[in-house]
Amino acid sequence: MRRHDRLTTTVLGCVLLAGCSSAEPASESLPATTATTTAAPTLPPLGPADFPVPVEARQQTAEGAAAFAEYYVDLISYTTRTLDSSGIRQLSRDCEDCEQVADGADTARAQGLRFLGGELTITSAGAPYMGAGTSEVAFLVEQAPLQVVDASGATVPSRSSDAYGLNGGVALNWAPESTCWVVTVLTIDRDE
């Protein structure tokens, strides 16, 4: 359980949209159209409000499974940093190690602990294995140094660590009711 308590990361992303550099009036000679335009259906948000599952991770494809696996590793880090276990619980089903991560965050919050550093970087991921409504993704992760601090601000040496490597993976099931993958098996182990 403690190996999961050490996972922390910050993921930043941005999307840049570019438009025309100058406004031009529409052509008066364009034919009229009677076709109606409908917006693409919007997926209801999943995950924490300030860290939702990205659209690309909600596709039932190999690329979607890979994006979801990366998001979930980042969600473990988010959970450790914020001590909010709701996203882990929402996006897993019958996953023992996922429950350990969520329970560990709840316990740390109750104990007044804070986690500083420990950012995770996925250094390598295998191509997802795809089955009928399932996927498996293996990955390697590097964790930056981590400092765990108690309610008084004192470092907890037994919970803090230097940088180290992790290997692991996830087994995923497609959940059509939420148009998203869910984790059924999580393994993250320290490299020996």
Q: 106 to each of 76, 80, 100, 158, 171, how far by Cα in Å? A: 13, 9, 10, 19, 24
Inform me whether the pLDDT recorded for 30 exceeds 50. Answer: no
Q: pLDDT tens, 156-191?
A: 999 999 999 999 999 999 999 999 999 999 998 887
Query: Within its chain, how far is the Cα of 176 from the centroid?
Result: 19
Inform me whether the pLDDT recorded for 42 exceeds 90. Answer: no
Inform me whether the pLDDT recorded for 5 exceeds 80. Answer: no
36 vs 151 pLDDT, higher one: 151
Q: 96-111 vs 62-82: helix axis angle to the nearest 10?
A: 20
Residue 92: pLDDT band by 50, 70, 90 thresholds? very high
Give me the CATH topology for the region 51-190. Answer: Nuclear Transport Factor 2; Chain: A, (3.10.450)
Task: Give the model's pLDDT for residue 38.
Answer: 37
Task: Give the model's pLDDT for residue 125.
Answer: 94
